[in-house]
Amino acid sequence: MTSPPDSEANFDHKIFVKTLSPALRAELTEARDGTSLTHLTLHGLALLLMVGLVGFAAPLWPLWMLGLGILISFLFTIEHEATHHTVVSGPKLNDWIGRFCGLAILLPFEWFRYFHLAHHRHTNIPGKDPELMGGPRPDTWPAFLLHISGLPYWIAMIRALVRNASGAPLEDFVPKGAIPRIRREARVMLALYSLAGLSLIWTPFLLWVWILPALLGQPFLRLFLLAEHGHCPFVANMFENTRTTFTNRVVRYLTWNASYHVEHHTLPMVPSYNLPLLHEHMQKHLKVTSSGYVAFSVEYPKGFQTGEPAK
């Protein structure tokens, strides 16, 4: 990697990418399917273990339910990887992994793919970034508590599924050629949810091992995602509009290294297991970081008192 320009103030993510040698870029984007499949297997086995502990009311089962909820909610990070086709090298397998994860958390994969690509294209730009289309990030205690409850997320996803299935106009970020797939996906998902709802007539099993845990786990995901861009400037430079959060190995593994978020936004084609290597080359250029998710969750509400706008 060559030395960066003298003016660090003007050194942005685009210039950084140009400093990477072809050999390093090839190393960063190298696919290692065995690593991802092992990761997927461990996440799946942990889910099955928690389902067994909750389903059979093992001692301390309410705690296991919370753990199950966190594992379910963070299927989002696997679905997120699938939108970039970086879970495994096969695009079709990526898509099916993404669809399964989306089904578990009410996040339709085909629709989310285009939502997320638009987010990357217009990161933190009001009026363009779809993550900001629903309004600014929470800037008062009531808005903050409502946000992390997950309730706005569930309402938004139910509305999106109904809209996508009904034939109503879709968002501008959805290409016309993708509309039939998105319609079909939403209708299949609603049919499967209807069957799941009907099963509750005979057994509450899904209530205890899926619905309630997903509700309990969602606040942890909301706080995690809020740290990615919350209170970051509305600018195009990824070194400023995105935050990397330093955390422990367990959280990094659970979240597929998504805490290296500046790194991910700078080079979205880098698989999650190569983001630590990218971080080694980028860390001295990072402008917005946090020492941890607890620290971020404590610092974020301080902006309510100082009048700093939520971003």
One pLDDT digit (tens) per residue for the chain, 311 residues? 334 444 566 788 999 999 999 999 999 999 999 999 999 999 999 999 999 999 999 999 999 999 999 999 999 999 999 999 999 999 999 999 999 999 999 999 999 999 999 999 999 999 999 999 877 789 899 999 999 999 999 999 999 999 999 989 999 999 999 999 999 999 999 999 999 999 999 999 999 999 999 999 999 999 999 999 999 999 999 999 999 999 999 999 999 999 999 999 999 999 999 999 999 999 999 999 999 999 999 999 987 765 554 44
Beta bridge partners of 245: 290
Q: For residue 192, how many other CB atoms are within 10 A of its CB?
A: 11
Helices (H), the chain: 13-19, 22-28, 33-55, 61-73, 75-83, 91-104, 109-121, 141-149, 151-166, 179-199, 205-206, 212-229, 238-241, 249-254, 261-266, 275-282, 293-299, 302-306
DSSP 203: -
Q: How high is the pLDDT of residue 308?
A: 53
Instruction: Give the amino acid at 61.
Output: W
Q: Which of 280, 106, 132 is nearest to 185 (CA)?
A: 106
User: Looking at residue 272, what is its pLDDT?
Assistant: 97
Length of the chain: 311
Angle between helices 75-83 and 61-73 (to 10 degrees): 10
Query: Would you state the pLDDT for residue 2?
Result: 39
* pLDDT of the residue at 307: 52
Sign of CA dihedral 98, 311, 251, 270: positive
Q: Residue 244 pairs with which residues in a beta bridge?
A: 289
Q: What's this model's pTM, rounded to 2 decimal places?
A: 0.93
Which pLDDT does position 11 carry in this prediction? 86
Alpha carbons 70 and 225: distance in angstroms, whole number: 13
Spatial separation of the C-alpha atoms in residues 232 and 139, rounded to whole Å? 13
154 contacts: CB under 8 Å, gap ≥ 6:
106, 215, 218
3-state SS class at 125:
coil
**DSSP conformation letters of 211-239:** IHHHHHHHHHHHHHHHHHHTT--SSS-HH
